[in-house]
Amino acid sequence: GQNIDQPTEMTATEGAIVQINCTYQTSGFNGLFWYQQHAGEAPTFLSYNVLDGLEEKGRFSSFLSRSKGYSYLLLKELQMKDSASYLCAVRADYKLSFGAGTTVTVRA
Amino acid sequence: ETGVTQTPRHLVMGMTNKKSLKCEQHLGHNAMYWYKQSAKKPLELMFVYSLEERVENNSVPSRFSPECPNSSHLFLHLHTLQPEDSALYLCASSQDGGGGRSIQYFGAGTRLSVL
């Protein structure tokens, strides 16, 4: 299986920036995904990286370094609605494995 | 609305009951998945169906029995469950079995409590 690590919790202030790190160990890497999950709701797709570098999508960006087994999700201009759990998922050999998730709390 | 609908949203059952969870996807996908999500733990892949054939059975106890009658519907039949089976059960679907840029879309889950 995969070994995927991300912090359990993070707190930030409205309007600030938060970076959620994810490290992984795997063979047969085939892509890294970030999902957002609000309490009681479905995980929703945020971003996908398969090549090294930064993918930007509005206020959210995701970075990947395959050689380091490292990714981060950057949330800019935080809003209260961004309070949620953020799941890092690694696809290897066409199977998706998830980290335990990072709960982000945005304070006013 | 993700295009993946799960029912019921909440279920309480005794250890001797038999119940079924239902998942329906309206995205035209050909692969469907069952995951178990326990508090503070990673999502655990349980079953994968691709083109209505089971292609993955991740060492799941036989008290969980999946059924995929067509590419839009997926069931999880439950019987003689244990209290440790209490969790959020998530269904997902994707186009193709996971290659390329295939993205999994999730339902909101069924919150199961086993008494």
Within chain B, where are the H helices?
Answer: none
CA triple B49-B53-B58, angle to 5 deg: 50
Of B4, B48, B103, Cβ closest to residue A42: B4
Identify the pLDDT of residue B102: 85
Per-residue pLDDT band for B2 (boundaries 50, 70, 90) equals confident
Any idea what DSSP says for residue B2? -
* Average pLDDT score over chain B: 91
Identify the pLDDT of residue A107: 96
Residue B51 has pLDDT above 90, yes or no: no
Among the listed residues B50, B92, B40, B44, the one whose alpha carbon sits nearest the alpha carbon of residue B64:
B44
Identify the pLDDT of residue B16: 87
DSSP line for chain A: --EEE--SEEEEETT--EEEEEEEE-SSEEEEEEEEE-TTS--EEEEEE-SSEEEEETTEEEEEETTTTEEEEEE-S--GGG-EEEEEEEEETTEEEE---EEEEEE-
Q: Which whole-number Å values give the CA distances from A101 to A37, A53, B41, in the listed order?
A: 9, 22, 8
Which residues of chain A are modeled with pLDDT < 50? none
Interchain proximity A45–B104, CB inside 8 Å: yes
pLDDT digits (tens, 9 = 90+) for B36-48: 999 888 999 999 9
Identify the pLDDT of residue B55: 76
Residue A43 with chain B: CB contacts under 8 Å: 43, 90, 106
Identify the pLDDT of residue B79: 94
Using DSSP's 3-state secondary structure scheme, residue B18 falls into strand
Per-residue pLDDT band for B54 (boundaries 50, 70, 90) equals confident
Identify the pLDDT of residue B58: 74
Identify the pLDDT of residue A92: 87
pLDDT digits (tens, 9 = 90+) for B9-38: 999 999 888 999 999 999 999 999 999 999
Identify the pLDDT of residue B97: 61
Of A45, A94, A97, Cβ closest to residue B103: A45
